[in-house]
Structure 1
């Protein structure tokens, strides 16, 4: 495939390495030094685009790819207030769109575990659930997109919790997400259920960016030649 990389920071470079190893061609690389190359005409030369920038530019980048008629995989977080608009743009332009808060195969299995554990714990009101997420200091958004996905999965099953908050809380209806920024830390997410009798905890720790980059390339391979809106569950069959 010919891939357009929209965002050529640390993640973009890790994606490039994996894509080349898998026999793909990077025909466009857009970073902060060449934003003028981020045009519909340039994107149209690609078979698929992979977008990893930031919350301030992700939506416009995704829509530009759709208007170019190029399937787009997006891993930027912090912009989901406009997610429905992005989906509508995908449908209007008859393109393909895959967003994930995390592309790691291990994290997506962790998502499945989190959903199942939330189902099992739902009847046991004596347990309080909370989340902790740890990332490097260069991560711009807090909580992480992965933590928000985990929290929303829990809220879907736990009738005691009404909303997540990005701080410690003593309110029974609040699901606390604690965000820590420490270097170096590619990413750790912890779900803790605590009671007066015992504690239950599940944890995922990333050791490097390779898992995220590999998952993003797998998603691009899946999305190539497709139309519609997809998720990593579709890619992995989970």
Structure 2
């Protein structure tokens, strides 16, 4: 499989290493130093594009891949206010798109666990729920995309919480997400349910970027030759 890497920072380089190990070829690498190579013509040299950039560029990068007719896997966060527009463009161009806030196999199992726990806790309003996420200091967005996904899963089930907030507040209807930036933490997410009697806590701690990179390559392998909108749940059969 021929892969275009849109974004060649630490994550892009980790993805490249996994892709090469799995026998794929990287035909395009776009970084901050060669943005002029980020063209529809160059993207069309690939079977699948993997996009890991930032909030300011992700949406345009995804649209460019869609217009090129190349299935695109995106792990960029901070642009989801335009996600529905990207889906509409993908459908209009009969292309394929897969977005995930986190590609790690372990995190996606953690998502499923979080959904199940939130459903189990729903009849027990005596438990309050809070979240903590810890990442390295170079991470640009807060809370993390993974934390937002976890929060939205909880809000679907929890009738006492109406929205998430990224600060420690006194409003009982707010789902508090605390964000800490500490090097060299690749990513830790903790959900805690607290009552006067006891606490229930689930935690996922990443040790390095390899899990994210491997999942992104698995997603690209899945997306090749497909049409439509997909998620990591489709890739992993969760």
Q: Confirm or deny that 1:167 pairs with 2:161.
A: no
C-alpha separation in 1, matches of 2:148 and 2:8? 25
Superposition deviation, residue 94 in structure 1: 0.6
C-alpha separation in 1, matches of 2:209 and 2:41? 30
Alpha-carbon RMSD across the aligned residues, in angstroms, is: 0.3
Aligned to 1:36: 36
SS in 1 for 2:124: coil
Choose 146-155 or 163-172, whichever is displaced more: 163-172
Superposition deviation, residue 23 in structure 1: 0.2
Aligned to 1:10: 10
Superposition deviation, residue 224 in structure 1: 0.2
SS in 1 for 2:33: helix
Aligned to 1:222: 222
1:20-169 map, 5 Å: 20-169=20-169
Q: Confirm or deny that 1:182 pairs with 2:182.
A: yes
C-alpha separation in 2, matches of 1:187 and 1:162? 26
Superposition deviation, residue 74 in structure 1: 0.1
Residues 96-148 of structure 1: CA distance to partner in whole angstroms, max 9, x if unpaired? 00000000000000000000000000010000001000000000000000000
Superposition deviation, residue 171 in structure 1: 1.0
Residues 41-87 of structure 1: CA distance to partner in whole angstroms, max 9, x if unpaired? 00011000000000000000000000000000000000000000100
Structure 1 segments, 4+ long, off by >2 Å, are none
SS in 1 for 2:138: coil
SS in 2 for 1:12: helix
SS in 1 for 2:36: helix
Q: 5+ residue gaps in structure 2? A: none
C-alpha separation in 2, matches of 1:219 and 1:233? 10
C-alpha separation in 1, matches of 2:11 and 2:48? 17
Normalising by structure 1, report the TM-score.
1.00
* Count of residue pairs the alignment pairs up: 238
Superposition deviation, residue 187 in structure 1: 0.1
C-alpha separation in 1, matches of 2:126 and 2:170? 14
Residues 152-198 of structure 1: CA distance to partner in whole angstroms, max 9, x if unpaired? 00000000000000000221110000000000000000000001100
Aligned to 2:210: 210
Q: 5+ residue gaps in structure 1? A: none
Normalising by structure 2, report the TM-score.
1.00
